[in-house]
Amino acid sequence: MINPVRILSDVQLKKLKEHKYSSSCQSLLDPAMQIFWNWIVEFVPLWVAPNLITIVGLFVNIFTSLILIAYCPTATEDAPWWTTSLCAVGLFVYQTLDAIDGKQARRTSSSNPLGELFDHGCDSLSTVFVSLASCCAVQLGRYPGWMLFQCLCASTLFYCAHWQTYVSGTLQFGKIDVTEGQLVVVCVMLLSSFSSFFNLDIWATSLVLISLNQVVTLFGAGCGLISMITPGGTIDKILNGGAGKSGSTVAGTSVLSPASPLLFVILPAWVIAYRSDEAVYHDQPILYTLMFGLIAAKITNRLVVAHMCKSEIHHRDPALLAPMMLMINQYFSTVVPEKWLLSLAMVWVVVDLLRYCGGVCLEICEYLNIFLFKIPYPPPTITNSSNGETSQGATSTRQRKKISRS
């Protein structure tokens, strides 16, 4: 029997097993939200696997986003008020479950490198769908260039956050980061719901030279740009924060090595959109933006794997064949209708993403001898350091609180 092609080498798996999670957080809202998250996690049964919490949150987020997108196929429609309200709830549920999965891992003594990778992989997908849903909520499709900019900007910021992690070895959150951004999106969704319920068109309101939905886009992009260019920001950490030899990445490679995969996504996205004879992007903005968002999610996942395995980031990726097909087709005067080719490219990207993510998870599970969505129950014996007593499985409420907050 022919063995399937492996994604991770033995060296990568060995280094991943030795990987230790490192992060620092200066977020303004995280301290307050931690109180809520520590309270919520106490209601989760100890037999529930952390990765199961993460995937449930992701499915809720994607499902509610797809409902909104279904009512706004061009991001110009006024969606029913309940769709944006549902999106706000879905994003808040995802944020909450995404925040407590690590706490659940510590409560159940089931922390492992796969949990970190799985969490970041789900975050990369969530970023794509939240960006699209936000565009639909504020009807940004009325300005196609702004919509493409907003979605690519979100994926770029997420990629750069893990780029600096690959360089410095530590995932660092700024004062205004993921938590604040997600709560702003929740507020935008609720404002859209209010506008739709009372038949108002607030997003088209003109403020001097631009509309309100453009202001929201500029505000988000501006916050991201500030976090990138300020001293001690993302760019500074990438260029000067190398944890490897002579200021290199954790893998000993150039700090600029992750730039090419990102450029291979951003540049073709703009070139194909505005060189198209059939206006493929303007005709199908959701499908087009979703395809490039998923490609960005794929290269981000590969960057996370490279960081955790301390390995070189490769510049070639099967997902990049999708934009290449569209560019070649344009070069030869659109031999194949771009609408058909875009659909085919989307299928290729989805299959490749599922193949990669599924393959990596299965290989890690096999190597670490763990399950993806199941953990040993009851939890391992917990020792009371003060008197040497142990308890098996039936951990007291006071002990569980101590573990979840450690």
DSSP code per residue over 23-74 = EEE--SSHHHHHHHHHHHHTTS-TTS-HHHHHHHHHHHHHHHHHHHHHH-TT
Q: Is 398 helix (H, G, I), strand (E, B) or coil?
A: helix
Cβ partners under 8 Å of residue 105, min gap 6: 50, 111, 112, 115
What six digits make up the tokens of 349? 């990207």
Q: Interior CA angle at 166 toward 15 and 148, to 5°? A: 130
How far apart (Å, rounded) are the C-alpha atoms in residues 141 and 77? 9
How far apart (Å, rounded) are the C-alpha atoms in residues 70 and 65? 9
Residue 361 has a CB neighbour count (10 Å cut-off) of 18
User: Looking at the annotation, which residues are catalytic?
Assistant: 120
90, amino acid identity: G
Q: What are the phi and psi torsion angles at 24 (to 5°)?
A: -140, 140
**β pairing state of 23-25 and 171-173:** parallel
How far apart (Å, rounded) are the C-alpha atoms in residues 281 and 259? 25
